[in-house]
Amino acid sequence: MHRTSSLLPPTLFSSTIARTGRGKASGFTSAIAFSLFLSISALAQDKVAATPPMGWNSWNHFAERIDDKTVRETADALVSTGLKDAGYIYLNIDDTWEGKRDSGGVIHPNEKFPDMKALAEYVHSKGLKLGIYSSPGPKTCAGFEGSLGHEEQDAQTYGQWGIDYLKYDWCQQPPSNVEEMKAAYTKMHDALAKTRRPIVLSLCQYGWNKVWEWGTAVGGNLWRTTGDISDRYAVMAEIGFNQNGLEKFAGPGHWNDPDMLEVGNGGMNEDEYRTHFSLWAMLAAPLIAGNDLTKMTPYTIEILTNREVIAVDQDPLGKQGFRVTQEGPFEVWMKPMADGSKVVGLFNRQRTVERMAVNFAQIGFSGEPSVRDLWLKRDLGNFKDKFSAYVPAHGVVLIRVKPQ
């Protein structure tokens, strides 16, 4: 169930009462006040990611080469290319920003990021939000300083810097039991709640232990359901199409995350990138670009800023799409929309152009509904019983179907 509040766990609540004096009115009142504070903070947390987060992450293209200058240039590009106006507002710094801890245990950025607070102020001045990365282990995936044993310190530091999004990456081996993982993520969620700042919490642990079943309960706004994506059609398709069946776990404030976008990185052709973006939109997945925004082709910009496809992803109903039919390499997917329409994706996983169709009865419609092509941005008219079209190899035809 979607968590609408986040009271202190029983053990933490009991220890708070003990510290203030069990049985004393003042102590009990203090404990209640503290619990209420966390509940209010958690409610603020739940209001973030009401629709899937949109933004950019440094890892897919820049990896360890990310630095202050690149983040500022990317912030400028988010604005100048129209991506910000299209909804991409989170600018997320991935691994390798971390420096050392001082004698008090406070984390500091390394020489690539001389002043994180000033960087956040620059990003905020553009109307954007800044994200950061850490790990619940002693080290991050790239071997930098993790947050183990410093969760509250790090959360407070992020709040002071002005951070709006935390990707929290489980870089150690899979845990011996799921409770270990739940406890680690709950601990950071509670620490973020104390900052009184609405910070998106992105759980990155590759779908281990069926995270979709408990991600919401530990405070996650999104959770990785899969291993890392790469800029190849076969990998993207395996990840994306295998999300079918997880739709019941997604909704406002808590989303399945099949990993970041590879659109514009050069490893797929135009039809394959259109499939990538369409499928992620159908999945109500976070749309986190991962390319160099300062060097985009017009086609890449057109994909990433297609308002009609973005609207599929950002629909306020918050329903994740699912597979309606499959015949070998031909898949028909459907996503219910808040206005009563349904978006249908005809996905051709074959290496040749093929004709595909959707019978309207399969999506719960009858009569002669109207059809609009979301990539052509054109109304196609009314169709009786079914709609069919030629679909490119590894491509998609994405339509919005409205009843009469």
CA gap 363, 375 in Å, rounded: 20
Helices of type H across 215-285: 233-241, 270-282
Catalytically annotated residue among 76, 228, 271, 373: 228
Residue 271 bears catalytic tag: no
Catalytically annotated residue among 169, 190, 257, 313: 169
Residue 233: how many other CB atoms lie within 10 Å: 18
- At position 188, the amino acid (one-letter code) is M
Strands 386-391 and 354-359: antiparallel
Residue 359: how many other CB atoms lie within 10 Å: 14
Tokens of 181: 């993982």
Name the pLDDT band for 404 (thresholds 50, 70, 90): confident
**pLDDT at residue 4 greater than cutoff 50:** no
CA gap 392, 374 in Å, rounded: 15
For 9-41, write each residue's pLDDT tens digit: 323 223 332 333 333 344 444 444 434 444 444
For residues 351-366, average pLDDT? 97
CA gap 74, 91 in Å, rounded: 8
Percentage of residues in the chain having pLDDT higher than 70? 89
CA gap 243, 323 in Å, rounded: 9
Strands 90-92 and 370-373: unpaired
CB 280 within 8 A of CB 240: yes
**Secondary structure (DSSP) of 314-328:** T-TT-PPPEEEEEET
Scanning the structure block, which residue is given the tokens 């209420």?
Answer: 36
For 121-140, write each residue's pLDDT tens digit: 999 999 999 999 999 999 99
For 87-131, write each residue's pLDDT tens digit: 999 999 999 999 999 999 999 999 999 999 999 999 999 999 999
Name the pLDDT band for 343 (thresholds 50, 70, 90): very high
Tokens of 310: 């973005």
CB 55 within 8 A of CB 131: yes
Residue 228 bears catalytic tag: yes
CA gap 102, 43 in Å, rounded: 33
pLDDT at 173 (0 to 100): 81
Range from 12-26, 138-152, 281-295 carrying the lowest mean pLDDT: 12-26
For 322-331, write each residue's pLDDT tens digit: 999 999 999 9
Helix (H) or strand (E) holding 152, with range, is helix 151-161
Name the pLDDT band for 66 (thresholds 50, 70, 90): very high
Closest listed residue to residue 404, CA positions, set 372, 369, 359: 369
Within 8 A by CB and 6+ apart from 191, the residues are 151, 152, 154, 155, 156
CB 87 within 8 A of CB 311: no
